[in-house]
Amino acid sequence: MNTLHRAARALEWLCVLLVVCATACPAPRANPMDAALDGARSDVGVQRDAATPRRDAATDAPRSDAALDPTRTTYEFIGTDQLRLHSVLTDVTPHPNQCNGHPATGYVMGFDSLANSCRIGEWTYQSSGWVSRVNLRTGKREALIDWPPTTAQFVEARVACVGNRVAVLYARGNRIDSTPSRLFYDQVGLALFDDFDRPGRIVWQRSYVDDPMIGQGQSLQALGASTEMIMWQHAPTRAPPELWVSGPNGEDAHPIAPNEPGYGNRPEYLRVVGPHAVWLDGPQVRYWRKGDAQSQRINNTLGYRPWTDGRHAVWIGLASAEPRNMEVYLYDLQTRETRIISQDPAGQPTGQNYPTVEGDWVTYSDFRNARDPSPTAGFTDVMEILGYHIPTGRTVPILTGVLQAGFTRMFGDGLVHVKCQEQVPTRQFYPIALPLPSLRDE
């Protein structure tokens, strides 16, 4: 799946590049030091009238006069150790779009933006190559790292929450070749933000000014964080990939010792909760606890899209090769017991995807009512959401009869947040929130 995922990301970059090239963009402005890492402040950034407040003091909502200026970007590097992000309003009214009668709770979402999201107070931070945040009370969306109007300098990024702070793993680019589609990075780094009114502190970085990296976000496959640690991948083009870990303030950053050759340090779908981390490396679902010398494999067959809440881990696993059938696996991190929790209709192997676990619940998408419910169908016409109650072993429907209800998330608020594709007119993806069923232990 790594190849398919990277191909999808490459296509996404190429499409954006074509849009940028097809529009009448102003010529790139010259940066005084060409974004060099010598301490000079770049003029790339959002310029605002100092007399105009950026936020409404009464509601803490973004002001509409802070609308995105299409000639400028939303970030700037300051010297060698600071990154400033500008909260730029990109939407001013909530979307009325509905998914099977459920109103959207936010804005159109990228491929992995719900999976790569976290919450601090009223804000949900999300990333899918770029970074934005949505205010849960006002519904307003702000870009923090967005695609720039020119390709003279761009940043691709992932976001994670470290308690009440935000960690941003970024790759700064300086050139794009459209044929073949390639991105050239001259710096990757990790920055921590206490708030976005002040620059964030770059706590780890690698520079490639003399030898730019080439690749489709290779160092951005994974970022995870908790109040105990931050984990991320560093994957330069000309060296083996490394999985790094640091304390919550970026201290004591070091790579984790690799596992057997070829596995252990190429994480995707990295999830960090407390001292626990789970990720996918090829077909392997791997688990690491802070302080361990190495990670360990916790699945026995082909695995995909793991998730953990620190007590359990879930993933999609190959239950049988003939017929090929993928099921939802639940793993107890304490007892190390594994069980299959999805239940296919009799005689009908059915596809499942996107499992998450939080507390007593596992939620996942299910294809049983699709025109082609088989596990080999991939994206299909109907993807419904089912919930598995761990204490009782009961499976209940949460969202049925919709078109491509995909990623699910639970934040401990009694709701299931679902990335759902509206039926008409645009078939865009929007987040909706559904209540978890009320079940008692039996």
How distant is the alpha carbon of residue 436 from its chain centre? 23
Residues 217-245 have pLDDT tens digits of 455 778 999 999 999 988 776 677 788 99
Query: Following DSSP, what letter does each residue of 115-184 receive, concatenated?
Result: TTEEEETTEEEEESBSEEEEETTT--EEEEE---SSSSSEEEEEEEEETTEEEEEEEEEEEEEETTEEEE
Mean pLDDT, rounded, for 133-153? 74
Bigger pLDDT: 170 vs 374: 170
Please tell me the pTM assigned to this model.
Answer: 0.78
**Beta strand 181-193 with 200-207: parallel, antiparallel or unpaired?**
antiparallel
Q: What is the pLDDT at residue 51?
A: 29
Give me the residue label for tokens 């160092």. Answer: 219
Which one is predicted more confidently, 232 or 347? 232
Q: Which residue would you say has higher pLDDT here, 344 or 203?
A: 203
Is domain 298-442 annotated with CATH 1.10.3470.10? no
What are the tens digits of pLDDT across the range 101-133? 788 777 666 656 777 888 898 888 988 778 888
Q: Is pLDDT above 70 for 62?
A: no
In sequence order, the 6+-apart residues with CB closer than 8 A to the CB of 164 are 120, 121, 194
The domain segmentation of the chain, as residue ranges, is 1-25+71-275, 298-442
Convert the pLDDT of each residue in 410-430 to its tens digit. 888 888 888 877 665 556 777
